[in-house]
Amino acid sequence: MYNIKTAIIDNGTGYTKMGWAGNIEPTWDIPTVISDNSDKNSTQVSKNYNEQLDFCIGNDALQQQVKTYPIKSGIITDWILMEKFWHKSIFDYLRCDPDETNFILTEPPMNPPENRESIAEIFFETFNANSIYIGVQAVLALYSNQVHEQHSSTGNQLTGCVLDSGDGVTHIIPVSDGFVIGSCIKHIPLAGRDITKFISQMIRDRGEKIDIVDLTRVSNEIKEKYGYVAENGLLQEFTNFDKPSKSGKQSNKFKQFSFESSKDKKKYSIDIGYERFLGPEMFFYPEFFDSNWRMSIDECIDNAIQGSPIDTRRNLYNNIVLSGGSTLFDGFSTRLQKQLQQRVDNRLQRFSIRNNNKIPEPISVKVAQNPYQRFSVWQGGSLMAVNPGFQNICKTRKDYYEYGPQIVRCNAVLSQGM
């Protein structure tokens, strides 16, 4: 196993990141979508060459009329299509022989153990993989951040609260010494895809001339290029937008976005304004967008940490790690740290009043960022794979055929033997 290369595949709801151990960034970052035109009643096996021609994944699949997302809210919902997605990933993108490759795969928190067994069955029985490791996304993100802070490849103290927000799902996961505190995990039904939908709605309501075919793509590009979080709140940001520039012209916060129509290939431009900050604001004022969800992201993090064992809370507040593309908005970490610190300070102040003005030791809130936080889960796997202790936590093909798929039901803790 020492000389066998390791591939990392991070399958998210919206995007899949793939590449090789030791790299800083994944080689491929493609949409987790598949277009399958093969005969559903066919008796051909998945490795049959003719059937391979009948489905495509990633950006190629997005161009097709019929397409399916095999992962919903972080959980695999269509195993047949997911197996085909992995088939393309391994043989068309990674271009490797699974028999001579170790695989690191990722999973969301609270993934059912039956799903882990299904992954093992596919990779060992269909692809004949040399070995696999299924890592919890939050722990890998924490490992990546810890390595960056230590400027080494050890990542020994894996304690922190991970805010993982991608395209389809947002989770808050407290981790203590490599153990996920499962009872305190928080799920937020808002993520990048919801921000894209909100921007699309604002563009439609404003009457911009844009074809429905291009609307989602354009809204997503606007979100990624111009979206930001209002660090000082909505009222101040509206004031900044409405304030004219020194020359008396319209505020320079209003932008124009140019795009090419997918139908006639002509260039078009639309104005963008308040949606730049109103979209990401759903993390802090979710009730504006979803009447069924009223808890801001800083309140969710605070509740997750307060529910954790009392001796871990101070360290959790001091290491809040951001992961995923929806945490990349300018101003996001600053606003989150400010509001969360205010919550903590207010609680300590109430404690002081109830205890005859006895002043408790202050708690410092620190929201950690790293330059690669969009890929932090994948990067955590990449860094872990080059660690000498990685071989101790893999499940090999020999293990699988000796003990069965139940061997992947539990994970070794990264801080042990790493």
- Please indicate, yes or no, if residue 104 is contained in any of the structural domains: yes
Residues 21 and 125 in one domain: yes
177 backbone φψ class: left, alpha, beta (φ>0; ψ -120 to 50): left
3-state DSSP assignment of residue 26: coil
Q: Which CATH number belongs to the domain containing residue 341 in this structure?
A: 3.30.420.40
Which of the residues in the chain have pLDDT under 70?
1-2, 38-53, 148, 150-156, 245-252, 412-418
- Please indicate, yes or no, if residue 289 is contained in any of the structural domains: no
Residues 17 and 129 in one domain: yes
- Please indicate, yes or no, if residue 101 is contained in any of the structural domains: yes
Residues 184 and 332 in one domain: yes
* Structural domain range at position 215: 192-282
Q: Which CATH number belongs to the domain containing residue 263 in this structure?
A: 3.90.640.10
Residues 317 and 398 in one domain: no
* pTM reported for the whole predicted model: 0.86
Beta-carbon count within 10 A of 34 CB: 23
- Please indicate, yes or no, if residue 415 is contained in any of the structural domains: no
What digits encode the pLDDT tens for the residues 333-361? 999 999 999 999 999 999 888 887 787 88
- Please indicate, yes or no, if residue 348 is contained in any of the structural domains: yes
Q: Count of domains in the chain?
A: 3
Residue 311, CA distances (Å) to 142, 218, 303, 307, 315 in order: 19, 47, 15, 11, 8
Residues 135 and 177 in one domain: no
Q: What pLDDT is attached to residue 248?
A: 56
Residues 11 and 131 in one domain: yes
- Please indicate, yes or no, if residue 149 is contained in any of the structural domains: no
Q: What pLDDT is attached to residue 213?
A: 82
Q: What pLDDT is attached to residue 388?
A: 84
- Please indicate, yes or no, if residue 118 is contained in any of the structural domains: yes
Please state whether beta strands 160-165 and 320-323 pair in parallel, antiparallel, or not at all (unpaired). Answer: parallel
- 211's CB contacts (< 8 A; 6+ apart) are 261, 262, 263
- 283's CB contacts (< 8 A; 6+ apart) are 165, 190, 229, 296, 297, 332
Residues 253 and 395 in one domain: no
Closest CA to 56 of 91, 84, 98, 28: 84
Helix and strand numbers (H, E) in the chain are 14, 18
- Please indicate, yes or no, if residue 414 is contained in any of the structural domains: no
Residues 221 and 345 in one domain: no
**Boundary (domain end) residue, out of 231, 253, 282:** 282
Residues 134 and 179 in one domain: no
Q: What pLDDT is attached to residue 49?
A: 42
Residues 308 and 171 in one domain: yes
Closest CA to 278 of 323, 321, 230: 230
Residues 111 and 252 in one domain: no
Residues 34 and 107 in one domain: yes
What digits encode the pLDDT tens for the residues 253-302? 788 888 888 888 888 888 888 999 999 999 999 988 877 888 999 999 99
How far apart are the C-alpha atoms of 317 and 50, rounded to whole Å? 54
